[in-house]
């Protein structure tokens, strides 16, 4: 196994390879949603976090171009960004007062993503859902993956409600592929990657 050149392109590229390699076997065993969540927890969360200003890796300074492109992407409306390319309209958003117990998935007051919702808002809910285990699935077979994020807090820091993103598995998988395409397009200069390898030696 070769070492990672970086966690912005190389590592997520390997995560995409796993998604492609394991896709058909996972589908035939009814584990495609598990595979998507596993890949997203690493291939989406890791580069997203590392390009954040202040991350201990310093990747936002090392890969300035990638960090700037991510910021532009986050400031765009999600539905017109490269992340929603080739997807249908199964992306919904909403809020719910509690996630304790069994939720009435059919009764969730969800609305389709508006044209105004920014990539930053959508990706933050997905990131926080993955990072904190705030993930639910709905249906058998699974019809939707739901990511939750604590939204409004009372005076003692307890969440009063949660924001959520609700999406069909096929569109979430397409989102991951679009995310990997986006990272592949940020064009990290070879000399920067070489410096990282040299420092790791």
The answer to the question of residue 152 being in a domain is: yes
The answer to the question of residue 164 being in a domain is: yes
Tokens of 85: 């390319």
The answer to the question of residue 176 being in a domain is: yes
Nearest C-alpha neighbor of 103 from the set 137, 129, 75, 69:
137
Measure the CA–CA gap between 95 and 90, rounded to whole angstroms.
Answer: 17
This prediction has a pTM of 0.87
The answer to the question of residue 1 being in a domain is: no
Cβ(91)–Cβ(77) below 8 Å: no
Number of domains forming the structure of the chain: 1
The answer to the question of residue 94 being in a domain is: yes
Kindly report the average pLDDT of the chain as a whole number: 87
The answer to the question of residue 2 being in a domain is: no
Give the pLDDT mean for 71-81.
95
Share of the chain above pLDDT 70, in %: 85
Measure the CA–CA gap between 182 and 198, rounded to whole angstroms.
Answer: 26
The answer to the question of residue 3 being in a domain is: no
- Write out the residue range of the structural domain in which residue 171 sits: 10-200
Tokens of 168: 């069909």
User: Which residues 6+ apart lie within 8 Å of 148 measured at CB?
Assistant: 96, 99, 125, 128, 129, 134, 135, 136, 162, 163, 164
Q: Is the peptide bond before 141 cis (omega within 30 degrees of 0)?
A: yes
Beta bridge partners of 146: 136, 166
Cβ(51)–Cβ(66) below 8 Å: yes
User: To 10 degrees, what angle do helices 32-43 and 119-132 make?
Assistant: 110
Owner of token pair 């309209």? 89
Cβ(150)–Cβ(156) below 8 Å: no
Beta bridge partners of 21: none
Measure the CA–CA gap between 83 and 178, rounded to whole angstroms.
Answer: 5
The answer to the question of residue 5 being in a domain is: no
pLDDT digits (tens, 9 = 90+) for 16-71: 999 999 999 999 999 999 999 999 999 999 999 999 999 999 999 999 999 999 99
């Amino acid at each position: 196994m070769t070492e990672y050149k970086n966690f912005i392109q190389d590592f997520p590229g390997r995560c995409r390879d796993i998604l492609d390699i394991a896709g058909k076997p996972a589908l035939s065993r009814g584990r495609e949603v598990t595979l998507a969540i596993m890949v997203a927890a690493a291939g989406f969360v890791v580069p997203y976090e590392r390009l954040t200003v202040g991350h201990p890796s310093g990747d936002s300074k090392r890969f300035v171009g990638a960090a700037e492109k991510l910021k532009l992407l986050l400031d765009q409306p999600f539905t017109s960004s490269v992340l929603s390319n080739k997807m249908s309209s199964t992306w919904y958003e909403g809020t719910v007062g509690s996630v304790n117990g069994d939720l009435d998935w059919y009764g969730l007051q969800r609305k389709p993503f508006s044209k105004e919702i920014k990539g930053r808002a959508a990706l933050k809910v997905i990131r926080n859902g993955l990072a904190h285990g705030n993930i639910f699935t709905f249906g058998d077979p699974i019809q939707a993956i739901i990511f939750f994020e604590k939204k409004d807090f009372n005076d003692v820091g307890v969440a009063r409600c949660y924001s959520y993103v609700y999406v069909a598995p096929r569109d979430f998988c397409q989102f991951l592929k679009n995310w990997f395409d986006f990272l592949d397009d940020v064009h990290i200069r070879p000399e920067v990657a070489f410096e990282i390898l040299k420092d790791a030696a």
